[in-house]
Structure 1
């Protein structure tokens, strides 16, 4: 069973564009769960251009499924996560000015740093995941840090799949098999959509969770949020 965690960053972006509280982030998060969504993901960034740090606290009592907080483990982010204590923290190597996540961790080069951060989160009972490219060496490195899971960065798969290159899923399948052998859980996210999610799910053994935001919210403009959430659930199950 692969869980669907919905990233609500785009809802916060829309809200912030008018400076008010419409759409209401907490109501949307509650509705997504009522529609069947199995988790809520947020990715606060230092400039708070979408999710604000206060949103992270405000969402905690609203999220009764899985609460996943993504981000670059700078001191402010680490303190935030330790205070909120979500279900899962996903470590992403974002540059401060990154428009969106655009690479996975070099888990070999940054092993000591990641190990230290992960150890602190695990002391607080928070499941840890590391955002990685589909490279076996990076999966092995993630294991060495003590992470509970990896999140496979799926942008290259999505881009190639749109061109008809179905073989683009192979590096992900191979990394997933390795992760299973190493005893690491497998998540995935970035540019997954209604068009490619079923194929990806069918080819990735042991896929526990996908985190989807931009495509899901964009598709909902035409099809409706409740419909789209359930269309993803159908494809995942």
Structure 2
């Protein structure tokens, strides 16, 4: 009986695909859940206790409103990995390989600009001017604190339990925490910074090549249009 000189290597498990970084708006999700709860409460109450054509009007209004509320609040999301950016907006899903991205703009809205010149808004990453102002104010306070410490003022001031005795936990003051944290940034700007970093590091890779694709969300538009048509018919024939 002969034995083989060497054993064949065991098959290796497949390499898992790249996991997406998912960015969504917590405020939008919270607003969507609240609005859907209100629509469901009012609509079901009208269907159950309404008379004549009221239940039908309530049903048509719910069919029209529920997809729209979900589209603008719960649906928007941005998925990013090392190969592409996928933008899920209320009525479209746009897939953009990093190699097709020219820039990521932040103004009154956040947008991705592709080589064809088209711009696609990132609904899931809304711009908050109020958050930007708060971040700028915090950054200004941190800079003023650093300047005071550089002049030797307030170097011994600490917060917390040991503030009255000139020491703190681990010798770290609140000013040190601000310095370690770096410049203050609004959450949406931090998300755009992450996306720009991916664009800079992966935009030239072979895996980031491809075409921009756009798919319309018929699963949202279809029910909304049907509800609008039914509601219009009921109102016109009333």
TM-score, length of structure 1 as denominator length: 0.20
TM-score (norm 2): 0.20
Bigger relative contact order (CA 8 A; separation at least 6): 2
